Structure formats: C-alpha cells, structure tokens
Structure 1
C-alpha cells in the first residue's frame, strides 16, 4: 500500500489544507476509519481506480465513483472502498469549496456534489494522475488544478472567512450575538451568508469545532483522568459533550457505558489526518 501526504502551494492556503494520495492493491471491500473525514472540512475526491461508498447514519448511502466534493459531514458516517483502489484527495477548509469552485450549499445533495457535471478541469486532472511516473507529480498536478480553479472563480467570501477563522480561534465557544456584534452584521444575515458560503449553520459549525477540540484534548489524558470534569475541553458539561458525541459518532462514549471501558475503545480523532498507512 502507498499512502502519501503533500502540502499545497502557499497561494492556496488556507483554502487548501493538504493533499493525499492512496494506492492499495487489496481486492474486495476495505473498511475505512470513521474519523476518515474531519468535521468542518470538505474533500475533493478523485477516484482514479475502484469506487467508494459513504453510509451516513441519517441519510441514504451514496457512491463515489468519479470526481466529487464530499462534506460537510454532519452526522456519524461509515466509509468503505472496493479495491484495488487509487485515489487522490484534496482537503479543503470550511470555505475552500466556495472560494476555489464557487460551490454553495444548494449545489450539494446529502454532502455530495459530482464535479464531472461542472467542467472538464477535474476529469482532465484525474486522467493526468493516472499517467504519473513520479510521485512528486501528484503535488504538481493538484497545485495546478487548484490554482486554475481559484483563478477562474471570483466568489467574494464577504467576511465569512474571517468569521469562520475567529470561531476556530475561540474553539467554537461563540454565540450569534457575539459574532453579530463583532462583525456589525445582523444575525439573520450572518446565518444566511454562513450557510451559503460554508454550507453549515454557524452554530452547528461551532459545535463541530468544540467536538473535535474536545476529542484531541481527551486523547491526551491518562485513563485515570477520564472521569474528571470537562475543564480540558470547550464543553461546559458532560451532557453537552455526550449529545454531540452521539450525533457525530453515533454511539455513547465508551467510558460512560460501563466500568470496564478502556481508552482503546475510544475512536481516534485527528483534525488533519485522513487515513493511516500501515
């Protein structure tokens, strides 16, 4: 199995976070980690070989067979691919899809958008990736495609990028009132703009930030510390954390389920990680 991580050109940041290239000759169904896609990010997926299937807990399953945008995932989801598989992935931040491709929330159906119906850029990029002889060409081809897309798109972020970045700085602990006052914009207008450009209600995005921050914080604790209050996380109490854990992970945290639960039962979560090579 080959798994590579690449970094985008400086001109593409912060819209593009990382590139991934995964090649696996395993035949049959490959189950992928539930934390494959980070909450609050979108992913441009070029399926060069094989096919993938996304099974959201709250929506109908759908297949990834060509070139598509996936996200924002707002509920627990299971992912699998049929190998052999070869795929290139572009990880975008919350507003990267809008800035690079001009895609707003109405363009998506259940977290999914087929890019082959938009233009030939990504199908041509996929064709070029299938012909590579040097793995360094992956980064060059994806940089070129993303820069071309961004230069041909003139969408105005209308301060939503600043709002989203501020929410990250505050670890999701913000209210609509605070955002409305800070950016001198009415709450209805703020919600409308955020929904259009990011594709999520601002308070749901804030919950995602709090949840992934909490998961990273809790993973740093020793087992004996897991029963301590939630001071190490952005959550005010356990009830709020469990509520979001059920939505985003579709099961009760193991350390609340029984006295025999171990830290190994807690699914891992890493903001930047998409897959684990072994």
Structure 2
C-alpha cells in the first residue's frame, strides 16, 4: 500500500484542507474496518482505478462515480473498495464545495454529486491527468492547479455563511442559535435557511458535529478506561450529550470507543488502516 498526505497551496485555505493519494495493489474486495470520511467536511474523490462503495449506517449503500463531490456525511460509514485501487482525495471544509465549485445543497443527491456532470472541463482534465500520472509526487501540483483554477472561476459568493461556519469552529460548537442570530443580525429562520443551503446541513447539526469531534479529540489523549472522564464540559456539552451524540453518529455505545480520528491523523507509513471517521 502507498499512502500520501499533501498540503494545498496557501491561496486555497481554508476551503481546501488536505490532499490524500492512495494506491493499493491488493486484488478483490478490500473491506476497510473503519471509515475514510469525517463528519462535517466535504470531499472531491477521484477513483483512478478500482471501484468504491460507501455504506452509511443509516442509508443504503451507494457506488461512487469516477469523480465525485461527497458530503456532508452525517453518520459513520463503511467503505469497501474493489482493488487494485488508486484514489486521489481533496478534503474540503464545510462550505468548500460552494466556494470552490459553486455547488450548494440542491446539487447533491444521496450525499454525493457526479463531478463530471455539468461542471467545468477543469475536473475532466484533472481526472485524465491524475489517471495518467505515475509519480505520486506530481499529484500535489496537479490538484493545486485545478483547485486554483476552479476558485478563480467562482464569483463573489455569499460569504456570511463562511463567517458563521468559521465562528462555530472557533467556538468548538459551543454557541446557541440565539447567540448566532444576535451576532450576525439575522433571524433564526434566515440563518437556518442560508446555512442549510450553502453548507448542506442545519447550523444546529454542524455545531453538534464540532462539539462531538472536539470531545473525541480530547479522548484521544486519554487511556481507553478513562473515556468516562467528563469531556468538553461547557454549558452546551457534557458527558451525557457526548454519549447521545456517539449513538447518533456511530449507532453504537461509546464503550466501543477505540483510537479514532480523521484520515488526517493516520501515520503515512501505516500499512494496516487507511483512515477512520470522526
């Protein structure tokens, strides 16, 4: 297995978080024990060789097209690939698809959208270039170039939602909807409407995801028997809420908790796991 993590050009941040490139010569079904995609993020996925099927715990399985925009996944997912496999992934932030591709929630069906349908030729050209590229070190500049070109094509989109999403992230999700509406001078129905349109999920759910991931991050610093220690104790989050969210996002009790994180936390030389969900 060959796995690489790359960092995007500064001009692409915060919309683009990281790039991943994965090659595996294993033939047949590769049933990954944990998940590739993190809660609250969007992804551009280029399947250059092989096939990939995603099975969300609360949704029927679907096969990804060769090039797709994926997200937001609101639950844990199982990833199964038909090898040999070669995949390039662009991890976007919560509103990355809107900022980079001009796609809002209305463009998505069942978590994803075929990137080669009704989109600029940039993505078809990138897909072709990635498929022909044999040197992994050339993947980063190819992705940078395509993403920068796509960003340049977008008009000045509505940026208020960017600020709201970033503020929720800064506050680790610990902010009420009333505080948000007061801070940004908009009504709650308007806040929920524009946030859900651009990000793809309601602001309440996004804040809940952030609080949950923050708690998981804190738990990674503890030994397994210590997971019951109060986590992220704030007026908006506590141990009881963490257990409730763990059941919501993973459909299992937190006693199952193991060393979980996003794909970004995987060691590059780890030959056993590709990634895990948060």
Q: How many residues align?
A: 269
* CA deviations over 1:63-107 (Å, ceiling 9, x no partner): 013100111000221111110000100000001110000111011
Specify the alignment match of 2:264 in structure 1: 272
The equivalent of 2:88 in structure 1 is 88
The question of 1:147 aligning with 2:148 is answered yes
Please name the residue that 1:20 is paired with: 20
Indicate if the aligned counterparts of 2:56 and 2:78 stay in contact, CA closer than 8 A.
yes
Q: Which residue of 1 aligns with 2:188?
A: 187
Cα distance in 1 for partners of 2:74, 2:58 equals 9
- Alpha-carbon separation, structure 1, partners of 2:16 and 2:235: 26
Report matched runs for 1:128-167 at 5 Å: 128-167=129-168
Change in Cα spacing, 1:101 to 1:19, as seen in structure 2 (3 Å) is same
Per the normalisation by structure 1, the TM-score is 0.90
> Are the structure 2 counterparts of residues 234 and 42 from structure 1 closer, same or farther at C-alpha, using a change threshold of 3 Å?
farther
In 1, distance between residues paired with 2:27 and 2:33?
18
Q: Are 2:199 and 1:198 aligned?
A: yes
1:45 aligned partner: 45
- How far apart are residue 266 of structure 1 and its match? 1.9
Structure 2 Cα separation of the partners of residues 174 and 235 of structure 1: 7
Query: What CA distance in whole angstroms lies between the structure 2 residues aligned with 1:160 and 1:128?
Result: 33
Kindly state the Cα deviation for residue 235 of structure 1 after the two structures are TM-superposed: 5.9
Deviations for 1:107-154, whole angstroms, at most 9, x for unmatched residues?
A: 111211111112332222111112224322111111111111111111
Contact 2:19/2:140 (CA < 8 Å) preserved in 1? yes
Unaligned runs of 5+ residues in structure 1 are 256-264
- Separation in 2, partners of 1:92, 1:68: 13
Q: What stretches of structure 1 move > 4 A for 4+ residues in a row?
A: 231-235
CA contact (8 A) 1:218 1:233 kept: no
Contact 1:43 1:71 in 2 (8 A): yes
- Call closer, same or farther: CA 1:221–1:146 in 2, change over 3 Å: same
2:274 alignment counterpart: none
* Structure 2: runs of 5 or more not aligned: 272-278
